[in-house]
């Protein structure tokens, strides 16, 4: 099937292939024309097959698009480094933070080094973690997406994809329902080792679908408005963009409403947002009931899973703290009031003790939501709930996947 796909692409007119590549890297005709020093009408004529590029122009197109303009689309590089992204600077921020007086760490910084990425993969491969999502749940969400988008070609932009297991389950659901769907999967993550794992897994899993492509993007989703290649929408395009934040990434944000208002501002009417969130175990204002009912606040015996949790969350403190961290304790606490009405948060807190000194670090937040109030809050900033797919055990893991549409 893969060979047939390549043969079909090679059989396409050169101009059609050039247009596909231009759109893939997010350039308009005018932008590509400026980059190679010709008029936009020249690019249009080549794409329509009305003229051929000179050898000199073909070389310039090669340099701009990253491949010979007559080569098959499958030969285009499929991994990007987003504009302004600097992993070493981010790692420096993490090192400075863990050597400071305490405070809150952005959770995404924990995934930066290879050991942290490996610890995270070990954690999510456990049966306890996998209870938070299964293939049938993603199939229901996939059907919800297809009901809204109908036969439109799709760009799936996955923010904080991690190892991409959930995102690929969603894609498989859509493609099993409608195998001819034109689907472009963009995997965006801050962690190079996790992104490599995600890309390899997605590319292998989706290889049998001739109309699906996978692109890995190393970047920080907080800077999404700067990533023009992901946001570009050709004139008169019928493609639908779907942003996903799976793996409870949404509930780790410092300010969910500000993130949606700012980072998702470039998306247009009709674009979709798919989130997974945990529902609350008690009313947000009832602290005693939360402490009594929420499993995240219950004491438990040391287990293999607990040791994996500690390895991931405490690893950077142990590795990067100058002079080492002789005593590091991890516990969960009920956090302060949240931005989204009806929600509360469990904070993963580390106490680092260096002799007589003790420093407190908030390493991550896990929020629980009232779906009705979350829907109202996002609706007030233009994102309206289309469908809720509920799953999980109400006592252990009450989960909802929520599909919103920009209106």
For 89-120, the pLDDT digits (tens) are: 999 999 999 898 899 988 888 898 888 899 88
Sign of CA dihedral 103, 95, 116, 263: positive
Q: Which of 163, 203, 162, 198 is nearest to 184 (CA)?
A: 203
Query: Please, which residues have CB within 8 angstroms of residue 250's CB and are 6 or more apart in sequence?
Result: 256, 275, 276, 277
Q: Report how far apart, in Å, the C-alpha atoms of 30 and of each of 38, 321, 329 are.
A: 9, 50, 57
> In this predicted structure, what is the pLDDT of residue 321?
85
Instruction: Report whether 191 contacts 249 (CB < 8 A).
Output: no
pTM reported for the whole predicted model: 0.80
Q: Is pLDDT above 50 for 7?
A: no
The string of pLDDT tens digits covering residues 151-205 is 899 999 999 999 999 999 999 999 999 988 899 999 999 999 999 999 999 999 9
Kindly report, residue by residue over 29-59, the tens digit of the pLDDT: 887 887 788 888 999 999 888 888 888 888 7
**How far apart are the C-alpha atoms of 239 and 243, rounded to whole Å?**
13
pLDDT of amino acid 50: 86
The pLDDT value given to residue 130: 55
């Amino acid at each position: 099937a893969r060979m047939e796909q390549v043969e079909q692409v090679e059989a396409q007119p050169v101009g059609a292939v050039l247009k596909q590549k231009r759109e893939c890297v997010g350039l308009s005709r005018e932008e590509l024309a400026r980059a190679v020093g010709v008029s936009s009408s020249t690019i249009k004529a080549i794409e329509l097959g009305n003229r051929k590029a000179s050898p000199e122009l073909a070389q310039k197109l090669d340099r701009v698009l990253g491949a010979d303009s007559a080569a098959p689309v499958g030969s285009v590089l499929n991994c990007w480094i987003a504009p302004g992204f600097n992993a070493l600077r981010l790692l420096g921020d993490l090192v400075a933070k863990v050597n400071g007086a305490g405070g809150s760490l952005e959770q995404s910084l924990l995934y930066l080094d290879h050991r942290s990425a490996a610890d995270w993969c070990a954690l999510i491969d456990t049966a306890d973690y996998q209870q938070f999502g299964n293939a049938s749940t993603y199939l229901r969400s996939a059907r919800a997406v297809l009901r809204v988008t109908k036969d439109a070609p799709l760009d799936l932009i996955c923010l904080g994809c991690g190892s991409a297991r959930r995102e690929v389950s969603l894609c498989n659901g859509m493609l099993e329902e409608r195998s001819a769907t034109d689907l472009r999967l963009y995997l965006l993550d801050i962690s190079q080792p996790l992104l490599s794992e995600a890309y390899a897994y997605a590319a292998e899993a989706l290889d049998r679908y001739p109309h699906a492509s996978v692109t890995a993007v190393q970047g920080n989703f907080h800077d999404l408005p700067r990533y023009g290649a992901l946001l570009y929408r050709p004139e008169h395009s019928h493609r639908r963009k779907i942003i996903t934040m799976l793996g409870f990434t949404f509930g780790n944000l410092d300010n969910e409403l500000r993130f949606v208002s700012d980072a998702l501002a470039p998306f247009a009417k009709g674009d979709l947002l798919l989130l997974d969130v945990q529902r609350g175990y008690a009313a947000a204002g009832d602290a005693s009931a939360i402490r009594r009912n929420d499993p995240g606040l219950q004491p438990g015996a040391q287990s293999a899973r607990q040791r994996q949790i500690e390895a991931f969350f405490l690893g950077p403190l142990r590795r990067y703290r100058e002079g080492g961290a002789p005593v590091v304790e991890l516990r969960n606490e009920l956090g302060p009031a949240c931005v989204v009405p009806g929600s509360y948060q469990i904070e993963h807190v580390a106490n680092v003790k260096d002799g007589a000194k003790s420093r407190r670090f908030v390493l991550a937040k896990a929020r629980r939501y009232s779906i009705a109030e979350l829907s109202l809050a996002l609706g007030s900033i233009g994102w309206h709930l289309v469908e809720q797919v509920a799953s999980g055990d109400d006592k252990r893991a009450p989960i909802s996947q929520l599909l919103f549409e920009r209106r």
